[in-house]
Amino acid sequence: MANPGWRMLAVINPCNPTGAYMGIEELKAYIYRSVEANLPSLDRTLEDASEISEQHHDDLSCCVLVDESMQLWRGSCWREDSLVSQEAWVRHMYDSFKCSIFVIHSWTKIWSCPGIRLGSILCPTSAHSMKLKKHQVPWSLNLCALAFLSAAVADKEYLQQTWTLNLVWRARTKEVLSEVFPSWRFYGEEWLSWLWIDTKDAKVAAACVKYAKAHGVPIRNGAMGYDKPTFIRLAVRSPDKQDVLFSALRMAKKECGA
């Protein structure tokens, strides 16, 4: 829960690296509760929000940034479980609470185009959008990026294949690693493009990172940036690439006697 008195709240959904995810109703309830806790000693419930007088309206000003970039792996139903489907609710939050909710999507990951920086922001009102555009760098997307965008949007087969194969490949990765490392604990939704894993041993995690890097299939060390030395994060990949990683992790297991 956000601390009382906050003016800006950032929500990464699903959370990277833990994989924790809130469905649309849970996410809305979380934002509601956070805003309610932020009300300046008015002792009112959310149902009473419409009665808040104009003099208090400025006191309620706050901003919520929701990054849903990794939620796009949810499948063809992703919009239904996204705030992009909640236009009326987002507007209500602004009109009643002066809470500006921005929904952010990075498209570079789902479309596998890290060299082209593509993203979008859904604003609560057109006025918010105009204010943001005043700060946008001119020509932030070149002609090549725009051409790629048009082609990517039209390629529905690519996304469907991504959603289908990702589920299969992630399940396979989890199954193989569970057999090799029965004590490991896996986190994250089954449709996510990565796995957050507690190896239960910092030495094992470090060895896994070392051997994975040596085999050309690097993984993330939870000790770096997250202060979780027993954890590792690895991406979902095609079987041929993942088999290389499995070999590397087996070598790490042999070294540690795990």
Q: For residue range 150-171, list pLDDT tens digits in order.
A: 999 999 999 999 999 999 999 9
pTM of the model: 0.86
Give pLDDT, residue 45.
42
Q: How far apart are CA 249 and CA 91, in angstroms?
A: 49
Which residues of the chain form CATH 3.90.1150.10? 157-256
> In which residue ranges of the chain is pLDDT below 70?
1-4, 40-60, 139, 258
Select 157-256's CATH number: 3.40.50.300, 3.90.1150.10, 3.40.50.150, 3.30.470.30. Answer: 3.90.1150.10
CB distance 104 to 121 below 8 Å:
yes
Where in the chain are all domains bearing CATH 3.40.640.10? 8-154
Count of residues in the chain? 258
The predicted pLDDT at position 43 comes to: 41
CA-closest candidate to residue 215, choices 197, 185, 231, 237: 237
Query: Coil, strand, or helix at residue 168?
Result: helix
Q: Taking each helix axis as running N to C, give the angle between helix 239-256 and helix 156-180, from 0 to 180 degrees, rounded to the nearest 10.
A: 20
Q: Does domain 8-154 have CATH number 3.40.190.10?
A: no
